[in-house]
Amino acid sequence: MLFDGFSRTTRIVNDIPYHFCLGGSGPLLMLLHGRPETHAMWHRIAPALSAQHTVICPDLHPERSLSEQAADLLSLADSLGHHSLILAGQDYGARVACEVAGQQPSRVKALILLEALPGPDHTGRDDMAFSLTQYESCWFGQLHPKPEANSVQIPAEWLSDPISEDSYFSPEAVKDYLSAQVWRSNIPFSWPASRPELQCPVLVLWGKKGRIGGWYNPVALWQAVSASTVTGQALPGEHFLPEEVPEETISAMQNFLAAMSCSDGR
């Protein structure tokens, strides 16, 4: 059973139903999932962090704008009795977390951003080789009979029945990803034209085997949009770090959170 010891509930926030898992006690830590997953992606991470924090893992609403979702999540924190919070987000969830921090910088005490960049400029990089590394583009760049229909938004192994025994994806989590309505009919994402500097400490995590660390210096890019300290490290995975390398992800997050507690005098 996923999220052992957590409660599962739905709460209406700004007329929108938010489904989430909740557990633990202490300062609020909100974990925001990436695409194309749901809150279930955190099932190996949340229980370990709940020893020192109240951990909430909500399903996002990508059909709503970043601004709307940020306001919703702040209201959700209010409804749980928490004014301040720490946010961790993977991929798309990191973008939502940054929007929350931009809207209410005094409330967000820290950010943990996994496999995410602050909308970097691709000038000089957007050649054919770069474009063909994108998942959908690589299918369109191949000769017939490779069908464009293969440009799905989910990893191919998710469609295997059953999930292979050596997969790092939990069958129960995959079932939630495939059955959830989170990514149905959502609008395309684009970064806002302007964003305020991040005011809180930031931890950046990325996969050693992925593209982000190979193409960029993630820490330097986040430092350029942050007024506070930015630290980071590469973990031995590709993209789905909380599921690929949960122990390493937990360790990195716990070390960062412990340092935050010490600096706050807790």
Residues pairing with 96 in the sheet? none
Give me the pLDDT at residue 21, please: 97
* CATH for the stretch 7-119+180-263: 3.40.50.1820
pLDDT over 60 at 148, yes or no: no
Rounded-to-integer distance, Cα 63 and Cα 96, Å: 12
Of 55-59, 83-87, 148-152, 215-219, the one with minimum mean pLDDT is 148-152
What is the arithmetic mean of pLDDT over 21-41?
Answer: 96
Q: pLDDT-derived band of residue 184, with 50, 70 and 90 as boundaries?
A: confident
Rounded-to-integer distance, Cα 227 and Cα 142, Å: 44
pLDDT over 80 at 88, yes or no: yes
What is the arithmetic mean of pLDDT over 208-231?
Answer: 91
Rounded-to-integer distance, Cα 201 and Cα 210, Å: 24
Domain residue spans of the chain: 7-119+180-263
Give me the pLDDT at residue 79, please: 96
Which one, of 249, 264, 266, 252, lies nearest residue 41 by Cα? 249
Q: Note the helical H segments in the chain.
A: 46-49, 66-79, 92-103, 128-131, 135-140, 171-179, 212-215, 218-223, 241-244, 246-263
Q: pLDDT-derived band of residue 122, with 50, 70 and 90 as boundaries?
A: low
Specify the residue for token string 């293969």: 150
- Long-range contact list for 243-251, CB < 8 A, 24+ apart? 243/41, 243/44, 243/168, 243/169, 243/170, 243/173, 244/168, 244/207, 246/44, 246/45, 249/45, 249/114, 249/205, 250/44, 250/45, 250/48, 250/49
pLDDT over 80 at 125, yes or no: no
Q: What is the widest separation between alpha-carbon atoms in the chain?
A: 62
Task: Identify the sign of the CA torsion 6, 65, 226, 113.
Answer: positive
Give me the pLDDT at residue 7, please: 96
Give me the pLDDT at residue 45, please: 96
Give me the pLDDT at residue 83, please: 97
What is the arithmetic mean of pLDDT over 81-97?
Answer: 96
Residue 144, token pair as written in the block:
């017939």
Contacts of 122 (CB under 8 A, 6+ apart): 130
Share of the chain above pLDDT 90, in %: 63
